[in-house]
Amino acid sequence: MILLDRVSKTYGKRTGSALERITMHIEPKEFVIVVGPSGAGKSTLLKLLTREEKPSSGKIVVGGIDYEHLKDRHIPQLRRRIGVVFQDFKLLPNKTVFENVAFALEVVGVGNREIKHTVPKVLAIVGLKGKEKNYPRELSGGERQRVAIARAIVRQPKILIADEPTGNLDPKHAWDVIRVLEKINKYGTTVLLTTHNQDIVNQLKRRVITIRDGRVVSDKASGTYDL
């Protein structure tokens, strides 16, 4: 599902390597946590996977797509296979919960009938049934993040990247979000989570990949937060 083979990323001679010969293999339907101190290279890794950045060297294959042969015109198609959730939600403030999620379908040309059929199902998955007409300002931080997750999965991506999704949340709402990610994973979506939350990492007992100074220093099947 996700393969990186000796991938390096260098932004310039003065800054050195953001990533140095990273190798990892993530199977379909896995739930993997990536941890590391600030500046370790986690954000660069995610930008490479979503093709916001190109590697300086090495091979990346995601969902059978070899990035070396990926044409720019095919990048939107690739990104439909990869849902992304950020720390800061990125919701449209003047659209309701329903409209925020529906927007992800509208931009790829999905018709109204399918939108009306699909969006309520996705909102039910993330625990927001009954909140369809609310605006983001009327929701808690945890609920807003769950709207963002619904928007990320409404196109049924094979992979969901969650980049510090609990960073701005209190413990209760953080765990609400993590439980939603676990549910999505059970439905068959590969989940790649980055987090600094030590309690979440230690309690989930999932595979943990630790990055430090641009290198993978640990990859454990049932890992803990060990920096």
**Segment 31-65, tens digit of pLDDT:** 999 999 988 999 999 999 999 999 999 999 998 89
112: containing domain: 91-156
In this structure, what DSSP letter does residue 149 have?
H
One-letter amino acid for residue 74 of the chain: H
Which string of DSSP letters, residue by residue, matches 28-51?
TT-EEEEE--TTSSHHHHHHHHTT
Percent of the chain surpassing pLDDT 70: 99
For residue 192, being part of any structural domain is answered with yes
- What's the pLDDT at 10? 93
For residue 128, being part of any structural domain is answered with yes
For residue 52, being part of any structural domain is answered with yes
| Statement to judge: residues 125 and 218 lie in one domain | no
pTM of the model: 0.91
Specify whether the backbone of 209 is left (phi greater than 0), alpha (psi in -120 to 50) or beta.
beta
Mean pLDDT, all residues of the chain:
93
- What's the pLDDT at 16? 73
| Statement to judge: residues 99 and 129 lie in one domain | yes
**Segment 160-215, tens digit of pLDDT:** 999 999 988 999 999 999 999 999 999 999 999 999 999 999 999 999 999 999 99
Count the domains in the chain. 2
Which of 24-33, 54-63, 74-83 shows the lowest mean pLDDT across its residues? 74-83
The yes-or-no verdict on residue 86 having pLDDT over 90 is no
CATH number at residue 182: 3.40.50.300
| Statement to judge: residues 147 and 171 lie in one domain | no
- 117 close to 108: Cβ distance less than 8 angstroms: no
